[in-house]
C-alpha cells in the first residue's frame, strides 16, 4: 500500500490529524479528481462566505463547476432584481481567463448576477442585451487579438455591430510593454465600445507582464463603481436584461490546476533539472534544448497541451554592464518588492526585466534626464524611428548611449518592470513520465549593435542552471489546446521547430492511454541531418503504428525554402479526407509567419478539395475552430 | 573448385530477386523519417552509383540527441576516360554546392565523387547530374565500373583514339536495365513490353566489381596492372593506334588477416588489333561472370579466378568465346605512374596544363580558392578538362591565343600552388576514409598531407626536394588509392595505426611488401625518415626508392600476387 506523501505543508491551518487525513486522500487522488475538487473548492469557498451549503448551489448556477448535479442540491432560483454583469474575455495563454474567473467570483460576492463569457463563444450582436460589461483582453504579436477572439474582434469592428446605448462597460487590457503595440486590443475594444454608444465606467487598465496586483485592484474598484451606478440607475423594466442561459467555462476541467496544488504562480515549485541535451547535431545553426525537470513531491500535475512557466535569473554579465553603465556599485543596498534589504546587483538579477527596451521605459528614462535625441524619438511622428531604435537594442544600450550622470540606484530600479516568467509548451505526458516534466527550448543568441545578446530564460536554462540545480516553475494550463476527449478521433498536428513539443506530449499520452485515433504529424526545421528534433522517437512511434503518418519539411536543405505548409498542400486530399472524418487540427509554433501560412493553406485545402468558394472554406475552418477541432498554441 | 560446394553469398540471391536492380529503392528513398535505407537497398543502390554513409565523427553524440546516425550518400559520377566538358565541370561545381558538402572529389579512377548528399536530395542530385549529360549508373556495384584511360595530353591524336575506345567499352558494358531511369529520372514503366534482359550480365550481374583501364606507354598513370582488365595501347611510328596488349587479373583489395586474399599485378593475355577491343572486353567479362567465385566476396574478383585456374586456362576460355586467338604481346615500356605537371604542347599545337590537386579534393579554403579558380577557368575554357588517375586535373586543349587568359586566372586564384609542390607531395595519394567511408579503420585524406609535410622536411634536408617517391595511404585494406603499388604504402589497421609497405616499382609493374605491421602514427616519421636518409646517401645513380628498399634489404620483392604475404621479415613493429 502506498504511503502518504506530505502534500499539506506544516504551516497549513490544519491539525496534524487533519493534515494526515488530507495527505492520505491527496496521495491517492487521480488527476481528474484533483481537477474536479479544485473547481469545487474554489466555488465552495465563495458559498462559505455567503453561508452554508446554499452556496454550493450558487456555485452550480454560476457555472464554476461542471459537476454531476445529482451529488449536490438542485440549483436555487435567484432573485431577478440583482444587477447582471458579463465578464467577456479574450484569452490566449489563459491569463485573461483566470482574471475573468476572479472577476466573476468577486462580482457574485458583491451581489451581481455574474457570468463569464469567452469571446470564442460570443456574438457582438448580443451586446445590447447586457447591463454591465467587463472586457478582459490580451494583445498578441503585432497588436493582434488572441486567436480565439479574432472573429469576435472583427465583427465588433464591422458595420454589423449594434449600438449599445445603455451598456456600462470597462476594459482591462493585458500585454507586454516590450512590444510596440502594447495593450493594443484593450485600447481598440475600449474606443470601439465608446464609439458604439457604450457608457465607460472607470478608466481602462493596461497591464504589463507583471499584471496581477494591478489587475486585482482594478477589478475591485471597477466592480464597486459599476455597482454604485447600477444602484443609482432606474431599474431595467424590460426584464430581459440578462440572458437566461449562463455559459460555463468551456472544456471539461473546472479551473486551472494551480488552484489545487500548493505550488503555483505565487509559489513556484523549486524543480530540479534532471537532464539537459542539445537536440541539434554538431554543425547545426540551431541550439534546441531538451530539458527534464523533476516534479517529485510537488503535487504538480499537467495535461498535454499545458505550458510550464519558468522564473529565470538574468545573465550576470548583462546586469553588471547595466550597473557599470549607470556608474553604480553592485553592492548598493536597495529594498525588494517584498520589503527585504538586498544589494542592487542581486535585486536586478532576480527581480527586474533588465533587457526589454520599450517606449514606456525610454519615456521614464527621458523624464529622469531630458535628452534631445530621446525627445525626438518619443515624438508621436517618430514611431518608425523609435521602432528602429528599439530593434536589436536592450536597456543596457540606452544606458551606454545616453548616460545620465549621477543616476541614483532607486531611479535605476524604477525603470525596470518585474522580470516576467517565460512560458514553454510541455513536451511530455505525465502519464508516461510520472513526476517529471519535459520542455523543448530554443536557445536564443544573436549579435546586434556590437553586443552578444542572449534570450533571458532560454540561456538561463542553457548556460546558467547546472543539472541537479533547482529552477522555480509552475504549471500554466492551456485548456484551449487539448487532445480530443474521444480517443478515437484522428488528429493532424503541425509543429515545426520547438512547436513540436506539445505533440511529443500528445503522442506519449495517446500511447500510454491506448488511444486508437489516427495521428499525422507535420514537422519542419532547417536541416534534416542536424535539426530533426526527437527523430528516433518519431521513428519508433511510426514503427509501432501510433504515428500513422509523418511528413517533414527542411527549409535549408534545398535552394527553395520548403515549409510545412508546402507539405500540407502536397497531401491536401488526404488532409481534407481526415477533416471530413472528424479529425482535429493542431498548430503549434511560430505565430508571426508559420501559423498564418498554415491557416491560409488550410483554407486553400478545404476550398480545393471540398470544392468550396474561399468564403465557404473560411466558414468551414471557422466552424472547426468553434467546435474546438482547430486549436493553436502559437507564440 | 570452391564455388561448387560452398553456398552462394547472400548478395547473389539479393541481386536475383531485385528485378534488375529495382528492389524497393523507389519506396525507401521516399520515406521521409529516416536518412537511411535498409540493408538490401544499401547493396542495390551501389549499382546506381551511390553508397550510404554516415558521419563517423559524430556517431557518439547522435543517440543521446535522439537523432539517428548522420546519414548521407556518396554519389560517384562516371566520366569514361576522365574527360569532361567545361559545361559539365560547371554543372558538377554547382551540384557540389547545392546538394553535396560543397566540395568535389576527383577519384583515383577518374570519376567525380560527391559526398554528403542527404537522402531527400538524392533524386534531384542524380537528375541534375544527368541533365549535365553525365550519369552515375554502374559507377559502383558488381558491374564494370568507370573505364579509365590515360589522359595523355601531348600525343593528342592518339589520345583521341584511345578515349573513344574507353567510351566504346564503357557503353557496351553498361547494364541495360531501365531501373535507373525509372527510379531516378521518372521514366514511365513500359507496361506489357518485352521482358527485360541483361544480355551481358544476366540477373545476378558479376560476382564482384570489375575495372578496366587503358594505358598509353610510356605512362602507366592509370596503374594498368591494378585492373581486372587492362589495355596497353600500341601505336605505329606515326603515333596512330594499332592495337593493344591485353592484361587481366590485376586488383588491389585484400582483407587484413586473410592470407588467401592479396593484391595482384595483372598477367598478359597477348596482343589484339584495335578494332577487337570491345569484343575482347565483353568476352573477358563473360568468363568472369560464369567462373568467378560467387560464394566468398573477398575472393570474387577476376584475379582469384585467374590465380586458381591459371592464365593459360583463362586465355583459352576467352579465345574459345572469341573464335580467334591472341597474338604475342607487342613490345612497350612504362616509365612511371605519376603525372607530368605544368604546361605541355600537344601534337595538335594546343596546350595542356596539369595541376596537382591534393587528394583530388576540389574545395575553397581561405588562402587557396581552388574550387572558385577552376570554376572561373571552366567559364572561359574552350577545350576540355581531364581527370587523371592520380586525382589531378588537366586543363586540356588550350589554343595558343587563350593561354594567357588561363594563366591570368591561375595566378589570380593562386592555382600555381598546384605546380610547385615537392616531388613527394606531387606523388602522394590518399583515399577519403574518415569521416564518411564506412570501411575506414583509420584516417587517410585528413592525415596524409600532414605526414607528407613532415617527410618533406626530411627530403629537403637530404637535398631531395624534387625527387619523386610514390607515397599512398588508405584507411583500410581495400586499396582505393592503390597503396600496394606505392613505393611507400600506408594502409590503416586501426585508429592511428598503419601497416607500412615498401618496394613497389616506380612504374607500377611490381607490388610492394609489408615492411612493418601496425605502426603507431607517431612512429611513422622516425621510421620512414631513417630509410629516406639511407636512400639519399646510399642510392645508385637513377635508382628509384622502391628498387632501393629491395636492394638495401628492407623488404623482399613481391614478384607475383600470392607472394605478397611471403618472406615478410618483420611481422610486428617494434620501436
Give residue B574's pLDDT: 56
Q: How does the average pLDDT of chain A come out, rounded?
A: 87
Residues of A within 8 A of B34 (CB-CB) are: 539
Give the mean model confidence (pLDDT) for residues B332-356.
93
Give residue A73's pLDDT: 38
Nearest by Cα to A374 from A384, A360, A386, A356? A386
B437 flagged as catalytic:
yes
Q: A516, A437 in Cβ contact below 8 A?
A: no
Shortest Cα distance, chain B CAs vs residue A441, angstroms? 14
Give residue A67's pLDDT: 37
Does B58 sit within 8 Å of A281, measured CB to CB? yes
Percent residues over pLDDT 70 in chain A: 87
Grid cell at residue A448:
546586434
Does B98 sit within 8 Å of A535, measured CB to CB? no
Does A557 sit within 8 Å of B120, measured CB to CB? yes
What number of C-beta contacts closer than 8 Å exist between A and B?
A: 61
The minimal CB distance from A535 to the residues B55, B66, B118 is found for B66
pLDDT digits (tens, 9 = 90+) for B453-463: 999 999 999 99
Give the mean model confidence (pLDDT) for residues A329-339.
87
- Interface subset of B 65-104, CB within 8 angstroms of A: 65-68, 70-72, 98
B368 touching chain A per CB within 8 A:
no
B76 flagged as catalytic:
yes
A33 touching chain B per CB within 8 A:
no
Which of A192-196, A280-284, A467-471, B31-35 has the lowest average pLDDT?
A192-196
Give the mean model confidence (pLDDT) for residues B44-70.
96
Give the mean model confidence (pLDDT) for residues A577-598.
96
pLDDT digits (tens, 9 = 90+) for A269-313: 999 999 999 999 999 999 999 999 999 999 999 999 999 999 999
pLDDT digits (tens, 9 = 90+) for B208-258: 999 999 999 999 999 999 999 999 999 998 889 999 999 999 999 999 889
Give the mean model confidence (pLDDT) for residues B464-477.
96
Does A539 sit within 8 Å of B67, measured CB to CB? no
Top-confidence residue, B194 or A445: A445
Angle between helices B311-322 and B277-291 (to 10 degrees): 120
Interface-testing mutation among B34, B38, B65, with chain A (most A C-beta atoms within 10 A): B65
Shortest Cα distance, chain A CAs vs residue B65, angstroms? 5
pLDDT of A320 above 60 = yes
B120 touching chain A per CB within 8 A:
yes
Give the mean model confidence (pLDDT) for residues A551-576.
97
**pLDDT-based confidence at residue B194 (cuts at 50, 70, 90):** low
CA of residue A534 relative to chain centroid, distance = 25
**pLDDT-based confidence at residue B274 (cuts at 50, 70, 90):** very high
Give residue B3's pLDDT: 46
Q: Is residue B216 classed as helix, strand or coil in its secondary structure?
A: strand
The model carries a pTM of 0.82
pLDDT of B446 above 90 = yes
Residues forming beta bridges with residue A173, ordered by sequence position = A137, A206
Nearest by Cα to A432 from A509, A547, A502, A501? A509
**pLDDT-based confidence at residue A256 (cuts at 50, 70, 90):** very low
Residues of B within 8 A of A538 (CB-CB) are: 33
pLDDT of A58 above 60 = no
The active-site residue, picked from B431, B493, B516, B544, is: B431
Does A558 sit within 8 Å of B66, measured CB to CB? no
Grid cell at residue B87:
559545361
pLDDT of A435 above 80 = yes
Give the mean model confidence (pLDDT) for residues A31-51.
60
Give the mean model confidence (pLDDT) for residues A200-204.
90
Give residue A40's pLDDT: 67
CA–CA dist A281, A530 (Å, integer): 4
Give residue A248's pLDDT: 30
pLDDT of A75 above 80 = no
Interface-testing mutation among A276, A280, A281, A500, with chain B (most B C-beta atoms within 10 A): A281
pLDDT of B4 above 80 = no
Q: A103, A87 in Cβ contact below 8 A?
A: yes
Q: B549, B487 in Cβ contact below 8 A?
A: yes
Shortest Cα distance, chain B CAs vs residue A444, angstroms? 19
pLDDT digits (tens, 9 = 90+) for A43-53: 555 444 443 33
CA–CA dist B264, B225 (Å, integer): 8
Quote ipTM for the complex: 0.90
Does B62 sit within 8 Å of A539, measured CB to CB? no
Percent residues over pLDDT 90 in chain A: 66
The active-site residue, picked from B46, B78, B208, B211, is: B211
CA–CA dist B270, A81 (Å, integer): 118
The active-site residue, picked from B78, B109, B145, B294, is: B145
The minimal CB distance from A542 to the residues B33, B67, B118 is found for B33
Give residue A354's pLDDT: 96
Give the mean model confidence (pLDDT) for residues A423-437.
97
pLDDT of B103 above 50 = yes
**pLDDT-based confidence at residue A28 (cuts at 50, 70, 90):** confident
CA–CA dist A501, A425 (Å, integer): 6
H helices of A499-534, where? 501-512, 528-531
Give residue A277's pLDDT: 97
**pLDDT-based confidence at residue A259 (cuts at 50, 70, 90):** very low
Give residue B571's pLDDT: 57
CA–CA dist B202, B286 (Å, integer): 10
pLDDT of B367 above 80 = yes
- Interface subset of A 547-576, CB within 8 angstroms of B: 550-552, 554, 557-559
**pLDDT-based confidence at residue A24 (cuts at 50, 70, 90):** confident
The active-site residue, picked from B264, B480, B482, B544, is: B480
Amino acid at each position: 500500500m502506498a504511503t502518504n506523501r506530505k502534500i499539506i505543508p506544516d504551516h497549513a491551518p490544519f491539525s496534524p490529524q487533519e493534515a494526515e487525513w488530507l495527505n492520505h486522500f491527496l496521495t491517492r487522488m487521480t488527476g481528474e479528481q484533483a481537477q474536479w475538487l479544485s473547481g469545487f473548492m474554489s466555488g465552495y469557498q465563495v458559498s462559505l462566505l455567503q453561508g452554508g451549503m446554499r452556496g454550493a448551489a450558487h456555485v452550480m448556477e454560476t457555472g464554476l463547476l461542471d459537476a454531476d448535479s445529482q451529488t449536490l442540491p438542485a440549483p436555487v432560483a435567484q432573485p431577478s432584481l440583482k444587477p447582471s454583469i458579463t465578464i467577456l474575455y479574450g484569452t490566449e495563454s489563459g491569463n485573461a481567463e483566470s482574471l475573468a474567473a476572479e472577476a466573476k467570483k468577486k462580482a457574485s460576492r458583491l451581489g451581481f448576477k455574474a457570468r463569464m463569457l469567452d469571446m470564442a463563444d460570443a456574438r457582438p450582436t448580443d451586446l445590447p442585451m447586457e447591463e454591465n460589461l467587463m472586457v478582459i483582453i490580451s494583445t498578441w504579436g503585432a497588436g493582434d487579438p488572441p486567436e480565439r477572439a479574432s472573429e469576435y474582434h472583427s465583427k465588433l469592428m464591422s458595420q454589423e455591430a449594434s449600438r449599445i446605448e445603455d451598456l456600462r462597460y470597462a476594459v482591462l487590457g493585458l500585454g507586454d510593454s516590450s512590444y510596440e503595440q502594447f495593450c493594443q486590443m484593450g485600447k481598440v475594444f475600449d474606443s470601439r465600445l465608446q464609439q458604439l454608444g457604450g457608457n465607460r465606467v472607470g478608466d481602462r487598465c493596461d497591464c504589463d507582464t507583471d499584471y496581477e496586483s494591478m489587475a486585482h485592484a482594478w477589478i475591485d474598484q471597477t466592480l464597486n463603481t459599476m455597482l454604485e451606478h447600477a444602484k443609482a440607475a432606474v431599474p431595467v423594466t424590460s426584464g430581459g436584461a440578462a440572458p437566461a442561459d449562463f455559459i460555463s467555462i468551456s472544456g471539461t476541467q473546472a479551473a486551472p490546476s494551480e488552484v489545487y496544488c500548493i505550488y503555483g504562480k505565487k509559489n513556484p515549485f523549486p524543480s530540479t533539472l534532471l537532464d539537459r541535451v542539445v537536440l541539434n547535431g554538431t554543425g547545426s545553426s540551431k541550439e534546441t534544448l531538451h530539458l527534464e525537470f523533476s516534479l517529485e513531491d510537488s503535487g504538480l500535475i499537467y495535461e498535454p497541451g499545458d505550458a510550464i512557466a519558468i522564473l529565470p535569473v538574468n545573465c550576470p554579465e548583462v546586469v553588471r554592464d547595466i550597473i557599470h553603465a549607470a556608474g553604480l556599485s553592485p553592492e548598493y543596498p536597495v529594498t525588494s518588492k517584498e520589503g527585504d534589504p538586498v544589494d542592487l546587483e542581486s535585486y536586478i538579477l532576480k527581480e527586474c526585466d533588465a533587457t526589454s527596451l520599450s517606449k514606456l521605459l525610454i519615456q521614464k528614462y527621458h523624464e529622469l534626464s531630458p535628452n534631445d535625441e530621446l525627445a525626438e524619438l518619443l515624438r508621436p511622428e517618430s514611431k518608425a524611428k523609435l521602432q528602429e531604435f528599439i530593434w536589436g537594442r536592450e536597456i543596457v544600450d540606452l544606458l551606454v548611449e545616453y548616460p545620465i550622470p549621477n543616476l541614483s540606484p532607486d531611479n535605476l530600479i524604477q525603470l525596470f518592470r518585474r522580470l516576467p516568467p517565460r512560458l514553454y509548451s510541455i513536451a511530455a505526458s505525465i502519464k508516461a513520465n510520472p513526476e517529471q516534466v519535459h520542455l523543448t527550448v530554443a536557445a536564443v543568441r544573436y549579435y546586434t549593435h556590437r553586443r552578444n545578446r542572449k534570450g533571458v530564460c532560454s540561456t538561463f536554462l542553457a548556460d546558467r542552471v547546472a543539472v541537479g540545480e533547482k529552477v522555480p516553475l509552475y504549471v500554466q494550463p492551456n485548456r484551449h489546446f487539448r487532445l480530443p476527449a474521444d480517443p478515437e478521433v484522428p488528429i493532424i498536428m503541425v509543429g515545426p521547430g520547438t512547436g513540436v513539443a506539445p505533440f511529443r506530449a500528445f503522442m506519449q499520452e495517446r500511447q500510454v492511454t491506448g488511444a486508437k485515433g489516427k495521428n499525422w504529424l507535420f514537422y519542419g526545421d532547417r536541416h534534416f541531418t542536424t535539426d530533426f528534433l526527437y527523430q528516433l522517437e518519431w521513428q519508433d512511434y511510426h514503427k509501432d503504428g501510433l504515428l500513422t503518418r509523418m511528413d517533414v519539411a527542411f527549409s535549408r536543405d534545398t535552394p527553395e525554402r520548403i515549409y510545412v505548409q508546402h507539405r500540407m498542400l502536397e497531401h491536401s486530399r488526404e488532409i481534407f479526407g481526415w477533416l471530413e472524418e472528424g479529425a482535429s487540427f493542431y498548430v503549434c509554433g511560430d505565430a508571426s509567419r508559420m501559423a498564418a501560412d498554415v491557416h491560409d493553406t488550410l483554407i486553400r485545402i478545404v476550398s480545393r478539395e471540398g470544392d468550396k468558394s474561399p468564403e465557404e472554406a473560411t466558414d468551414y475552418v471557422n466552424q472547426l475552430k468553434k467546435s474546438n477541432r482547430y486549436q493553436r498554441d502559437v507564440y | 573448385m570452391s564455388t561448387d560446394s560452398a553456398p552462394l553469398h547472400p548478395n547473389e540471391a539479393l541481386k536475383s530477386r531485385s528485378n534488375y536492380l529495382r528492389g524497393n529503392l523507389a519506396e525507401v528513398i521516399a520515406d521521409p523519417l529516416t536518412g537511411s535505407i535498409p540493408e538490401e537497398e544499401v547493396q542495390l543502390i551501389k549499382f546506381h552509383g551511390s553508397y550510404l554513409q554516415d558521419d563517423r565523427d559524430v556517431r557518439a553524440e547522435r543517440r543521446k540527441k535522439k537523432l539517428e546516425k548522420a546519414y548521407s550518400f556518396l554519389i560517384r559520377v562516371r566520366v569514361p576516360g576522365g574527360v569532361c566538358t567545361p559545361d559539365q565541370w560547371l554543372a558538377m561545381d554547382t551540384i557540389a554546392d547545392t546538394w553535396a558538402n560543397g566540395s568535389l572529389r576527383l577519384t583515383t579512377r577518374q570519376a567525380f565523387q560527391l559526398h554528403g548528399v542527404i537522402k531527400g536530395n538524392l533524386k534531384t542530385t542524380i537528375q541534375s547530374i544527368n541533365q549535365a549529360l553525365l550519369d552515375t549508373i554502374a559507377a559502383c556495384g558488381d558491374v564494370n565500373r568507370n573505364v579509365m584511360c590515360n589522359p595523355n595530353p601531348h600525343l593528342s591524336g592518339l589520345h583521341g583514339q584511345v578515349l573513344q575506345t574507353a567510351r566504346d567499352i564503357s557503353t557496351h558494358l553498361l547494364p541495360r536495365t531501365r531501373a535507373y531511369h525509372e527510379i531516378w529520372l521518372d521514366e514511365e514503366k513500359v507496361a506489357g513490353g518485352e521482358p527485360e534482359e541483361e544480355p551481358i550480365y544476366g540477373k545476378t550481374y558479376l560476382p564482384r566489381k570489375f575495372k578496366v583501364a587503358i594505358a598509353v606507354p610510356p605512362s602507366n598513370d592509370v596503374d594498368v596492372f591494378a585492373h581486372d582488365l587492362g589495355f596497353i595501347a600500341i601505336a605505329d611510328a606515326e603515333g596512330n593506334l594499332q592495337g593493344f596488349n591485353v592484361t587481366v587479373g590485376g586488383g588491389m583489395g585484400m582483407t587484413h588477416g586473410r592470407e588467401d586474399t592479396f593484391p595482384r599485378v595483372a598477367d598478359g593475355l597477348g596482343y589484339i588489333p584495335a578494332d577487337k577491343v570491345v569484343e575482347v572486353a565483353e568476352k573477358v567479362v563473360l568468363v568472369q561472370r560464369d567462373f568467378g567465385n560467387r560464394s566468398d566476396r573477398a575472393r570474387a574478383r577476376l584475379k582469384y579466378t585467374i590465380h586458381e585456374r591459371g592464365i593459360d586456362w583463362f586465355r583459352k576460355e576467352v579465345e574459345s568465346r572469341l573464335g580467334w586467338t591472341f597474338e604475342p604481346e607487342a613490345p612497350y615500356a612504362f616509365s612511371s605512374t605519376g603525372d607530368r605537371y605544368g604546361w605541355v604542347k600537344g601534337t595538335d599545337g594546343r596546350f595542356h596544363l596539369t595541376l596537382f590537386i591534393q587528394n583530388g579534393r576540389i574545395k575553397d579554403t581561405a588562402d587557396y580558392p581552388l574550387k572558385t579558380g577552376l570554376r572561373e577557368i571552366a567559364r572561359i575554357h574552350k577545350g576540355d578538362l581531364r581527370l587523371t588517375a592520380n586525382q589531378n586535373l588537366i586543363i586540356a586543349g588550350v589554343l595558343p591565343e587563350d593561354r594567357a587568359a588561363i594563366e591570368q586566372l591561375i595566378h589570380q586564384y593562386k592555382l600555381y600552388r598546384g605546380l610547385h609542390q615537392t616531388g613527394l607531395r606531387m606523388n602522394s595519394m590518399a583515399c577519403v576514409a574518415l569521416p564518411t567511408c564506412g570501411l575506414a579503420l583509420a584516417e587517410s585524406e585528413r592525415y596524409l598531407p600532414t605526414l607528407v609535410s613532415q617527410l618533406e622536411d626530411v627530403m629537403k634536408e637530404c637535398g631531395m626536394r624534387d625527387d619523386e617517391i610514390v607515397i599512398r595511404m588508405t584507411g583500410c585494406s581495400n586499396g582505393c588509392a592503390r597503396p600496394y603499388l606505392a613505393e611507400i604504402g600506408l594502409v590503416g589497421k586501426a585508429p592511428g595505426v598503419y601497416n607500412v609497405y615498401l618496394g613497389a616499382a616506380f612504374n607500377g609493374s611490381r607490388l610492394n611488401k609489408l615492411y612493418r605491421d601496425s605502426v603507431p602514427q607517431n612512429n611513422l616519421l622516425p621510421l620512414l625518415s631513417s630509410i629516406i636518409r639511407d636512400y639519399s646517401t646510399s642510392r645508385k645513380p637513377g635508382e628509384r626508392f622502391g628498387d632501393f628498399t629491395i636492394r638495401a634489404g628492407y623488404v623482399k620483392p613481391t614478384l607475383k600476387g600470392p607472394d605478397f604475404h611471403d618472406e615478410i621479415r618483420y611481422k610486428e613493429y617494434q620501436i
